[in-house]
Amino acid sequence: MKKEDPKESKQGAILKAAVELFEGRRFDEVKLDEIAAAAGVGKGTLYLYFKNKEDLFAQLAVDGIDGMTERIHEIAAMESAYKERLFLFGREFADFLAKRHGVMGVMNQVQSVPVDKVFRNHHDRMIEAIHELLQKGMDEGALRNDFQVSELRCALVGPILLKIRRAARVGEAIALKALLEFFWAGAAAKRKKGQHD
């Protein structure tokens, strides 16, 4: 009980320090010395938990994705009206991206094949979760079903990602609600007269 925690908390501390150092900076701009210092551990300690710098960043990227994936499944399984679930997802996903988009951006640059594969694995699982959420919307008759799910996903996620990125850079306020409403306007199934969501 005592033993397990410090170990995880040490690795966790490193990852936490790394995410922050990493936001808005290139892979090569972040030095392992910095990370070690920020995490309050020795440089050598990093190598007890990570194979090398790239591995550290891969785990950084993976870390959190899984949590989000889990959360999406939860949201999809909720009982509330579909639009509510969708908007809830939008908000939580935006929060997630706000914290991770820097790391994700770098991972999209990473070449190193083995590292990349691990990341993609987890990333794909998250995408599948989103697909599930959208598929459910179609099955429930809440979303139009004359588009591919993957197109809907792009239409939903793409704008959020772009907005978050620019917000991070320019400091623009994130009019998330508007983006979601726009998506809804285009994606909601055409109800027969008299209906509304």
Partner DNA sequence: TATGAATGAGGCTTCATTCAT
Partner DNA sequence: CATGAATGAAGCCTCATTCAT
Residues making contact with its own copies (CB under 8 A): 24-29, 102, 105-106, 108-111, 120, 147-148, 150-152, 154-155, 157-163, 165, 169, 172, 175, 178-179, 182-183, 185-187
Q: Between residues 3 and 79, which has the closer beta carbon with respect to its own copies?
A: 3
The sign of the dihedral angle between the CA atoms of 133, 130, 197, 146 is negative
Count of chain residues binding DNA (CB under 7 A): 20
Give CA angle at 58 (52, 62), nearest 5°. Answer: 145
Supply the minimum distance, in Å, between the C-beta of residue 2 and DNA: 9
- Considering just the CA atoms, what is the radius of gyration of the chain in Å? 19
Supply the minimum distance, in Å, between the C-beta of residue 79 and its own copies: 27
> Residue 191: helix, strand or coil by DSSP?
coil
Stretch of 5-13, 63-71, 164-172, 181-189 contacting DNA, by CB under 7 A = 5-13
The DSSP 8-state label assigned to residue 29 in this structure reads G
Residues 25-64 that bind DNA (CB under 7 A): 28, 30-33, 41-48, 52-54
**3 belongs to the binding site for DNA (CB under 7 A):** yes
What is the C-alpha to C-alpha distance for residues 98 and 182, in angstroms, rounded to an integer? 20
Q: Between residues 15 and 72, which has the closer beta carbon with respect to DNA?
A: 15
Q: Choosing among its own copies, DNA, none, which partner's interface includes residue 7 (Cβ < 5 to 8 Å by kind)? A: DNA
Q: Between residues 18 and 187, which has the closer beta carbon with respect to DNA?
A: 18
Q: Between residues 28 and 146, which has the closer beta carbon with respect to DNA?
A: 28
The DSSP 8-state label assigned to residue 108 in this structure reads T
**110 belongs to the binding site for DNA (CB under 7 A):** no
Identify the bridge partners of residue 143 per DSSP, sorted by sequence position: 188
- Going by C-beta distance under 8 Å and a sequence separation of 6 or more, which residues neighbour residue 109? 27
Q: Choosing among DNA, its own copies, none, which partner's interface includes residue 148 (Cβ < 5 to 8 Å by kind)? A: its own copies
Determine what percent of the chain falls in helix, strand and coil, rounding each to the nearest 5: 75, 0, 25
Looking at 10, 125, 136, 165, which residue binds DNA (CB under 7 A)? 10
What is the C-alpha to C-alpha distance for residues 95 and 88, in angstroms, rounded to an integer? 11
